[in-house]
Structures are given as C-alpha cells and as structure tokens.
Structure 1
C-alpha cells in the first residue's frame, strides 16, 4: 500500500511545520550527499530556516563551490575581482623584483656593477666564482682525458692496420 500524494501547501500548525522541515531538510541534505557520491559531482546545498538558521552541505568548502559557481556564470562581484587583481599585481611585483635581483647577480658574476657591493658580499662572490672555476676545471680535465683516450685508441687501431698492410706487402 503506497502513500498518498501530499498536497503542497503551507503547513499551518507550527509544530508540524517544524517537524516536516527537519525531516525534509535531512532528506534533502542526504540526497545531495548521495548525488555527489554516485555521480562524482560537486554539490552545494544551503537551507535557511524561517528562524534564519543556516544548514549547508557541500562536497568541498562551500566558499570554493560558490566561487566556482560565480566563475562559471561570470558573475564575480567587484570585491572578488578587485582582490584577484590585487593578488595578480602583487605577484607581478614579486616576479619583477626577483628578475631584478637575478639580473644584478648575473652582472656581478660577470664582473660588472661591483661598486655597490660591500667587502662581505665581494668575498662571497669571489668564493662562488672560485667554486664555479673549480667545477669548470674538473669538467675540462674530464673532457681532455676522454679525448686523449679516444686519440690513443685511434692510434692503436691505425698502428695495427698499418702493421697488417706491411705484412701483406712483405709476403708478396
């Protein structure tokens, strides 16, 4: 035996209305959870009671979901746009200062624009350059050693091939 269809109209009895609200609210939030779980979608449900209590469910942070909704609809409010612009400007300023610092460091490594440097900074720069020079020398020795080994192998191959030709000539 099935339930009869409920007539949709305002429930006059305040106690019955509150009980119905609680049951339907819980049911709606449960359905939102099930929907997000079954379909792997982001869901947000916000319910305001008649006494201004707020009930919410969201698969992720409710503010993230609302921001995602605004971005999708292109309805970011002015304060969000302003804070986003301010954030981007801050990032741009940080990147510009990083580029300036790297350019100055590069000039110092090339021996340019050394006047503003103090003794401590000059010693640090000298140490960095010496370390780099040592690495360059080590790599240079490796390359020369590899090149020398290749030349020795070529000489040995050449000597053996010349020796084989001489034997052929002598036997004739």
Structure 2
C-alpha cells in the first residue's frame, strides 16, 4: 500500500519543522544543480530560513543572474524611468534632510531650541560662536585699517594739491608785482617827461595875440556891484564905438 498524500500546511512542531526544512532545502538545491547541468540552464536559487539565514545557488553567478533577470523583467524605457525617479527621490530626500539640519543649526546659533541639546553639543555651539565672533572682529579691524589708509592717501593728495595751489598763487602774486612796478615806472617816466617839456617852453610864447573885434561886448556887472542898471546900457553903447 502506497504512501498517502501529505496535507500542505505549516508544521507546528518546531523540531519537525526544522528537520523538514533541512531535508527539502538540500533536495531543492540538488535539483537546481542537476537542472543546470543536465539541461545547460542558468539557474539561480535564493532561500531564506525562518531565522533569516540565507541559502543560495547560482550556476552562472548570482549577480549576473539577477542582472539578466532585471533586463528581462523590465523594458528599457520603464527601467530608465524608474531609475531616474528613484535617483530624484533620493536627491530630494538628501536635500530635505540637509535643509532641516541647516534650519536647526540656525535656530541654535540664534539661541533657540537649545533644550534638546546636551552639554557637549552646547560646548561645541559655544566654540562655534566664539570662533565666529573672533572672525567678525578681525574682519572689522581689517576694514577699519583699510579705511584709515584710504583717508591718509586722500589727505596726502589734498596736501599736494594745496602746495601746488600755493606755489601757483605765489607765482601769480610775483607776476602781479612785476606788472605794478612796470606801471609805476612808466607813470613816473611820463610825468618827468611832461615837466621837462613844460620847463623848456618860452613864457612869452604863451601871450595871446591881439584880436580885432567888431561891435561891443555886453557888459554884465558883477553880483553885489553898486553900478546901477541904467548905466550899464550906456556903458555898453559907448564901448561899442571904441576900437
């Protein structure tokens, strides 16, 4: 009488379950090896036990078999889209984590949300703030020194311009003095020539020549004179007939 048909269900006895797993696992690995040898087939077998232990068999290498499996299971277009989507998802995840970390660091630098930090983290934060403060002061000092140097350069430049203007003004003053001296010398020479010419002229040459006059001059008595107006007409009449 043959063996009866075994009902397929989970074996509740732990020892029997482990024995059955070992026997059938070895038989399955043996059948996979035989199939690959007899039929020249590329066989890949992966088994995980209930405890998570791995058992595998690959006639051409597991990684090679898996790559071939992926190429056959997905079309190239779908595979590229899936890879690109997965890559973008990973990039977004990294950027999101970095953004959250930067926000958290900024809040800590501003003195916010310091409660969850430990003593060591607070000491590190203190060192960062001290280093940032030292760099800020150093940069401030450097900028002040550069501004002072610029102001000194401007001061020297303005001093040179002042000296140039002073020299130019002195030259203009000297030229003005020379012109004034020339004018005064010319004026003195002209006055001396005029006096010499006046002294050389004959006083007799300046006497007026006699002039013959017809008629008579109208006689006008001086203001305050005691001559009566009635005589002025007669006098003028008499003088009109005298040559």
With normalisation by structure 2, the TM-score equals 0.38
Cα distance, 1:162–1:114 mapped onto 2, change above 3 Å: same
What is the CA–CA distance in structure 1 between the aligned matches of 2:104 and 2:78, rounded to whole Å? 43
* Larger Rg over CA atoms: 2
What is the CA–CA distance in structure 2 between the aligned matches of 1:84 and 1:153, rounded to whole Å? 60
CA-CA distance at 1:147 after TM superposition: 1.2
What is the CA–CA distance in structure 2 between the aligned matches of 1:114 and 1:123, rounded to whole Å? 12
Partner of 1:155: 155
What is the CA–CA distance in structure 2 between the aligned matches of 1:70 and 1:156, rounded to whole Å? 79
What do the CA deviations read for 1:53-72 (whole angstroms, capped 9, x no partner)?
67xxxxxxxx49x59x943x
CA-CA distance at 1:164 after TM superposition: 0.8
- Which residues of 2 match residues 42-53 of structure 1 at below 5 A? 51-52=39-40
What is the CA–CA distance in structure 1 between the aligned matches of 2:103 and 2:118, rounded to whole Å? 18
CA-CA distance at 1:171 after TM superposition: 2.1
Query: Is 1:76 aligned to 2:107, yes or no?
Result: no
With normalisation by structure 1, the TM-score equals 0.51
Partner of 1:136: 136
Q: How many residues align?
A: 111
What do the CA deviations read for 1:92-137 (whole angstroms, capped 9, x no partner)?
4343222211110011112222222222222111110110111111
Aligned partner of residue 112 in structure 1, secondary structure = coil
Cα distance, 1:95–1:168 mapped onto 2, change above 3 Å: closer
RMSD of Structure 2 on Structure 1 (CA): 3.8
Instruction: Structure 2: state its 5+ residue gaps.
Output: 1-38, 43-66, 173-243
Ranked by relative contact order (alpha carbons within 8 Å, sequence separation 6 or more), the top structure is 1
